[in-house]
């Protein structure tokens, strides 16, 4: 016997699984609408038939009661002998006057017939019943028995039986109408819903066909947007926004691969060329100089590969952080000491500030900014740290050529280097600032370039302070 598994008990019935695979939105919507309308009409029909029958039966009962009162008034005024004058009425009812279980008079249709009912109410009382009578075709009748006292003080009972044939005919006609009309109306609703659902889903099908024809080489295509600003229109707009993002992502990926290939090719070509020259002309090779070139290019390759791996990992699952208390002023002092050892003039305005984050990642981001400033500075690099409200503001500037305002967002793209710094001697790999942005964003902060006092590039990093 197989072991019990929750998946076994949770699996749907075969017909449900078949329905989910084969029934589309149009069929499901049409059948649902038809089912709801059928249920509503069935309940309404039953309720209508019940209320109509009750109303008609009450009307018949009122007519029989009125007839009984008319006869009873005659009996009470003139005696039972005068009832025969009323028996010729054209109303469709049967009348009997019973005196001490003896039928004194009856309607012409039932003369000589037994009593219509055994109801014997006291004078002034009324009793009613519904049933068949043993007269004629034994149809259903409403029977009203009204007790009355004749002038000689003898108690008499006036019995009126009113036929329900008209009520039964009306209810039968209504039922026939419902049985014929409800299925037609349900079919009409289902068919109309099927057609309207098809028309409503036509834009969705157009979107599906267009998306099905879009591949990696055709990301510039867009789906048609209906003129109506409804759910389908918003779906089409969202699909186009998604295609915009995919196209931008694909373009960025192609640009990244192209730029990475270019950046990797340059140091490899330098190393290969240097080694080939040394191999062909060993007597002319200055080996210490060659060794230094190879080491420099290898270090450049190592840095480039490490930066690319960091960005790839951050794209996949974000920048991994080990969160601890980090003294930002200590990181600034370390960079100031390193910069001054290079001979650059460093102006500082550092105040104590602490945040929560990854010390190594923040140190790397600060070093990338400082290296960028030092690479472009003429003589001076500035570094400041202060607290503004609930944030720590870190700024790094230089007196170099600066960054044009229209390029200040673009420099955070990968492998982007401005024309003034594209030489390998003065420019970096083009990954330093993107890494800074990834690290700062991982710490819920922001980084941007703003106007600086020295006229050069001026980076501003804003990081949140830990709650007190």
| Residue 40 CB-half CA count within 13 A | 9
Q: How far apart are CA 178 and CA 170, in angstroms?
A: 12
| Final residue in a domain of this structure, among 314, 348, 364 | 314
Residues 306, 358, single domain; the answer is no
Strand partners, 160: 95, 144
Q: How far apart are CA 216 and CA 122, in angstroms?
A: 98
Pairing of strands 446-449, 126-132: unpaired
Residues 96, 206, single domain; the answer is yes
Phi–psi pair at 149, nearest 5 degrees: -110, 130
Location of structure tokens 């589309």: 24
Residues 276, 336, single domain; the answer is no
Residues 444, 421, single domain; the answer is yes
| Final residue in a domain of this structure, among 314, 343, 367 | 314
Cα–Cα distance list, 438 to 184, 258, 307, 393 (Å): 66, 21, 11, 17
Please indicate, yes or no, if residue 391 is contained in any of the structural domains.
yes
Burial of 63 (0-12, 13-18, 19+ CB in 10 A): middle
Give the residue among 84, 148, 81 at the shortest CA–CA distance from 121. 148
Q: What are the E-state strand segments in 164-312?
A: none
**What residue numbers bound the domain in which 66 lies?**
18-212
Largest CA-CA distance found in the chain, in angstroms, rounded: 161
Phi–psi pair at 383, nearest 5 degrees: -145, 125
Give the residue among 468, 383, 376, 382 at the shortest CA–CA distance from 422. 376
| Contact predicate 451/365, CB 8 Å | no
Q: How far apart are CA 408 and CA 217, in angstroms?
A: 31
| Final residue in a domain of this structure, among 183, 212, 241 | 212
Residues 181, 61, single domain; the answer is yes
Residues 293, 310, single domain; the answer is yes
| Contact predicate 141/93, CB 8 Å | no
Q: How far apart are CA 13 and CA 17, in angstroms?
A: 6
Q: How far apart are CA 383 and CA 328, in angstroms?
A: 12
Please indicate, yes or no, if residue 410 is contained in any of the structural domains.
yes
What sign does the CA torsion over 168, 169, 173, 179 have? Answer: positive
Quick one: tokens of 199?
């028309």
* Stated pTM of the model: 0.51
Q: What is the pLDDT along the chain (468 residues), one digit of tens a residue?
A: 455 455 444 556 676 666 666 567 778 888 889 999 999 999 999 999 999 999 999 999 998 899 888 888 888 887 766 665 545 444 467 888 888 778 888 887 777 788 888 888 988 899 988 888 766 666 788 889 999 988 876 788 988 988 888 888 899 999 999 899 999 999 999 899 888 888 888 888 888 888 887 776 677 788 888 777 777 788 888 888 888 888 877 777 777 777 667 667 777 887 888 888 888 888 777 788 888 888 877 877 777 777 777 777 766 666 777 889 999 999 999 989 888 877 788 999 999 999 998 888 898 899 889 988 988 888 899 999 999 999 999 999 999 888 888 888 888 877 776 654 444 444 556 778 888 898 898 889 999 999 988 888 999 999 999 887
Q: How far apart are CA 309 and CA 38, in angstroms?
A: 64
Q: How far apart are CA 223 and CA 243, in angstroms?
A: 9
Q: Residue 71: give its domain's CATH number.
A: 3.30.450.20
Quick one: tokens of 218?
């055709």
Q: How far apart are CA 382 and CA 386, in angstroms?
A: 13
Q: How far apart are CA 368 and CA 434, in angstroms?
A: 10
Please indicate, yes or no, if residue 372 is contained in any of the structural domains.
yes
Domain tally, the chain: 3
């Amino acid at each position: 016997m197989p072991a019990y598994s929750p998946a076994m008990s949770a699996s749907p019935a075969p017909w449900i699984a078949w329905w989910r695979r084969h029934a589309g939105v149009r069929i499901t919507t049409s059948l649902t609408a038809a089912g709801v309308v059928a249920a509503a009409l069935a309940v309404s029909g039953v309720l209508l038939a019940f209320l109509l029958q009750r109303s008609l039966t009450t009307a018949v009962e009122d007519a029989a009661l009125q007839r009984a009162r008319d006869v009873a008034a005659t009996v009470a005024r003139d005696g039972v002998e005068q009832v025969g004058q009323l028996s010729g009425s054209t109303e469709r009812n049967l009348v009997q006057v019973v005196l001490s279980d003896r039928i004194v008079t009856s309607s012409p249709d039932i003369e000589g017939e037994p009593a219509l009912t055994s109801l014997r109410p006291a004078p002034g009382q009324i009793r009613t019943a519904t049933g068949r009578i043993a007269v004629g075709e034994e149809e259903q009748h409403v029977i009203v028995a009204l007790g009355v006292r004749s002038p000689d003080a003898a108690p008499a009972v006036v019995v009126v039986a009113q036929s329900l044939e008209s009520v039964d005919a009306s209810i039968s006609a209504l039922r026939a109408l419902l049985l014929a009309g409800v299925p037609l109306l349900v079919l009409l609703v289902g068919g109309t819903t099927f057609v309207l659902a098809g028309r409503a889903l036509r834009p969705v099908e157009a979107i599906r066909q267009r998306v099905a024809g879009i591949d990696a080489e055709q990301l510039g295509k867009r789906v048609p947007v209906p003129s109506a600003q409804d759910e389908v229109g918003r779906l089409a707009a969202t699909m186009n926004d998604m295609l915009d993002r995919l196209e931008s992502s694909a373009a960025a990926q192609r640009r990244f691969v192209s730029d990475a290939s270019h950046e990797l090719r340059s140091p490899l070509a330098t190393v290969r060329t240097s080694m080939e020259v040394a191999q062909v002309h060993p007597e002319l090779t200055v080996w210490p100089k060659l060794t230094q070139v190879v080491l420099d290019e290898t270090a450049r390759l190592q840095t480039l590969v490490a930066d690319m791996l960091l960005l790839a990992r951050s794209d996949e699952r974000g920048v991994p952080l080990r969160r601890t208390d980090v003294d930002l002023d200590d990181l600034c002092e370390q960079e100031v000491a390193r910069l001054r050892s290079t001979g650059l003039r460093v102006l500082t305005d550092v105040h104590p500030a602490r945040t929560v984050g990854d010390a190594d990642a923040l140190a790397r981001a600060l070093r990338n900014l400082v290296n960028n400033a030092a690479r472009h500075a003429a003589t001076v690099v500035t570094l400041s740290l202060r607290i503004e409200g609930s944030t720590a503001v870190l700024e790094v500037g230089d007196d170099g050529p600066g960054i044009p305002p229209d390029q200040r967002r673009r420099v955070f793209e990968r492998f982007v280097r401005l024309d003034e710094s594209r030489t390998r001697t003065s420019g970096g790999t083009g990954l330093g600032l993107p890494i800074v942005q990834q690290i700062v964003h991982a710490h819920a902060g922001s980084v941007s370039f703003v106007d600086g006092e020295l006229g050069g590039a001026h980076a501003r990093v804003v990081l949140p302070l830990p709650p007190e």
